[in-house]
Amino acid sequence: MSEDKPASNFIREIIAQDIESGIFGGKVQTRFPPEPNGYLHIGHAKSIVLNFSIAEDYGGTCSLRFDDTNPIKEEQEYVDAITKDVRWLGYDVEEKIYYTSDYFDTLHEYALKLINKGLAYVDDLTADEIREMRGTLTEPGKDSPHRDRSPDENLNLFDKMTMGEFPDGAKTLRAKIDMKSGNLNMRDPVMYRILHSPHHRTGDKWCIYPMYDWAHGQSDSIEGVTHSLCTTEFEDHRPLYDWFLENLGVHQPRQIEFARLNLTHTVLSKRKLIQLVQDGHVSGWDDPRMPTLSGLRRRGFPPGAIRAFCERIGVAKAFSTVEVGLLEFCVREELNKTAPRVMGVLRPLKVVITDYPENQIEELEAENNPEDPGAGSRIMPFSREIYIERDDFMEDAPKKFFRLAPGREVRLKHAYIIKCDEVIKDSNGEVIELRCSHDAGSKSGGPTADRKVKGTLHWVSAAHAFDAEIRLYDHLFMEDDPDNDPESGQKKDFIELLNPGSLETLKGCKLEPSLLKAKAGERFQFMRLGYFCVDSKDSAPERPVFNRTVTLRDAWAKIKKKQAK
Ligand code: ATP
Ligand code: MG
């Protein structure tokens, strides 16, 4: 799957050592464990690619496990969306989809085992009381008055909890570890809570649900995971992960932590992404401006480019933020090789070629992709009236503006060299049409075909082009780091930092006729404008709507920038 040989990293080094020492019998098994309470985003992709590529490279297996322990926030919709996204990224999980909820019986037996060993107890304290007695980083916690219940009493109470005899929050099952531990996670963490709430898979069977820390390591163990890769916020949970497994005397995977991905100009916190969706700041989880995999897919990002990006950023322990430009670079790199070139005009300006016969139509051959000779060619109709991009004409053009201006020449891609003879304006002085003449020998194969002119423009034949809606996207957030802006010293609410210009919808764009049949999800390079993808939701047969995936690099914008300096 990995396009290049993956770079080594500290996780691969640990795994290589484990294979050599034979601690897991030379086996490698990883997993990706999402909680089905939101859609996957580009940060999850980092974890997915890491887990699946490591399993593949070491001849092991990787599974998808839904960490579905919270019936209140979880839904089947999320399970379906996550499965779809993992498959789309290119990983076959067909027989390796697991659910923590499938282990609820085993987890319950494990809990009885710890109770019998005097290592777990039923507590009557409320959640608030538990929090208050937990202490702080500098102060030890206090023992619960129920801490020394006998195993028999605990078994009896736990049974009643399980049978639904207590209301929500009335009791918990806690591990009996050490209320004075320097690690807060070891201060008698809650294993089970009472929640009279149906679960999307187990229905009404349970009214006690395991907490993350109690469920996670045991699920890894039950599945036979060897290397449990997670993000660094779980580093402080590792002693607890190990404590449960050691005291149960079951298979103990090795937990290894790596830094989560942060990306500029976006947020990757699930809570914030949910807020963007619920408060209508975006059109949904798959809004093409969202950093979700469904959003990136709809925007036109190919899965291979996302994998290449994840391989390129590598994994480390240290926190870092990656430029979104790197992700866009990976997208361009792939699409440059694979996307057919076409012509479309976003903001049309009419051009009449006055010396071209009125009813003549020529069928010009246009190659589909200069990077891929196998991609073939198509026919572009050419006629007397065409559209060019409004930005490609300037009345008082500076010297370095290598496009059309009064008296200047440009080449029309795959067609003729034209010269601007006359500028037509409306009563407000706005340019509405150009009158040009053409060099009839300048098309491919003609006597003046090789004549050099500085600029080449894209165009469409006015009579043959069709109108389409096109959406242009910019960063969802204006600032680099909308999560946090330490430089300014002030923390604004991230909603205030939304970019009001992140979506621009253009109607009446003029596209070449070959695009009329373009299908949802198909990707193209609109020459000189960028890469575009047919929107999968709002398009209809013969009425494609296009989303701009990324721009091409714009030489003129660079020159303007330099001049501004
Ligand atoms: P929550 O705060 O709801 O737990 P989460 O982003 O951690 O959100 P999970 O569904 O628990 O969501 O994540 C599944 C896996 O993806 C976990 O192993 C987690 O460590 C990993 N993951 C989540 N966010 C990132 C990220 N930004 N970079 C790398 N890995 C991530
Ligand atoms: Mg998580």
Q: How do residues 66-99 score in pLDDT, each as one tens digit? A: 999 999 987 899 999 999 999 999 998 888 899 9
Structure-token pair, residue 75: 């839904």
Q: Are residues 218 and 288 in the same domain?
A: no
- Report if residue 3 sits inside a domain: no
Q: Are residues 124 and 227 in the same domain?
A: yes
Distance (angstroms) between ligand 2 centre and the Cα of 231 equals 8
Q: Are residues 359 and 400 in the same domain?
A: yes
Structure-token pair, residue 462: 């006015």
Average pLDDT, whole number, for the chain? Answer: 94
Q: Are residues 486 and 435 in the same domain?
A: no
Ligand 1 atom, smallest distance to 269 CA:
6
Q: Are residues 293 and 219 in the same domain?
A: no
Confidence of residue 373 (pLDDT cuts 50, 70, 90): confident
Residues with CB under 6 A from ligand 1: 33-35, 37, 43-44, 46-47, 230-231, 260-261, 268, 270
Q: Looking at the DSSP assignment, which residues form a beta bridge with residue 309?
A: none
Are the CB atoms for 521 and 534 separated by under 8 Å?
yes
Instruction: Find the distance separating the first CA and the last CA of the chain, reported in whole Å.
Output: 44
Q: Are residues 86 and 207 in the same domain?
A: yes
Q: What is the CATH classification number for the domain harbouring 188?
A: 3.40.50.620
Q: What is the CATH classification number for the domain harbouring 375?
A: 2.40.240.10
B/e letters for 8-24, b = 16+ CB within 10 Å, e = fewer, are ebebbeebeebbeeeeb
Q: Are residues 357 and 331 in the same domain?
A: no
Residue nearest to ligand 1 atom 5, measured at CA: 270
Mutate which of 32, 44, 321 to test ligand 1's pocket (most atoms within 8 Å of Cβ)?
A: 44
Q: Are residues 197 and 249 in the same domain?
A: yes
Q: How many CB atoms lie within 10 A of CB 362?
A: 15
Q: Are residues 155 and 16 in the same domain?
A: yes
Q: Are residues 56 and 105 in the same domain?
A: yes
Q: What confidence score (pLDDT) does residue 389 get?
A: 98
B/e letters for 277-302, b = 16+ CB within 10 Å, e = fewer, are beeeebbebbbbbbbbbbbbbbbbbb
Distance (angstroms) between ligand 2 centre and the Cα of 42 equals 14
- Report if residue 372 sits inside a domain: yes
For residues 338 and 368, give the distance between their C-alpha atoms in angstroms, rounded to a whole number. Answer: 10
Q: Are residues 324 and 390 in the same domain?
A: no
| Among 258, 287, 319, residue at a domain's last position | 258
Query: Ramachandran region of residue 521, left (φ > 0), alpha (ψ -120 to 50) or beta?
Result: left
Of 357-361, 388-392, 557-561, the range with the lowest mean pLDDT is 557-561
Q: Which ligand is nearest to the CA of 260?
A: 1
- Structural domains of the chain, count: 3
Residue nearest to ligand 1 atom 26, measured at CA: 43
- Report if residue 1 sits inside a domain: no
Report, as an integer, the average pLDDT of 458-476.
Answer: 97
Owning domain of residue 476: 270-340+468-564
Of 141-145, 211-215, 317-321, the range with the lowest mean pLDDT is 317-321
- Report if residue 4 sits inside a domain: no
User: pTM for this one?
Assistant: 0.93
- Report if residue 5 sits inside a domain: no
pLDDT, tens only, 19-67: 999 999 999 999 999 999 999 999 999 999 999 999 999 999 999 999 9
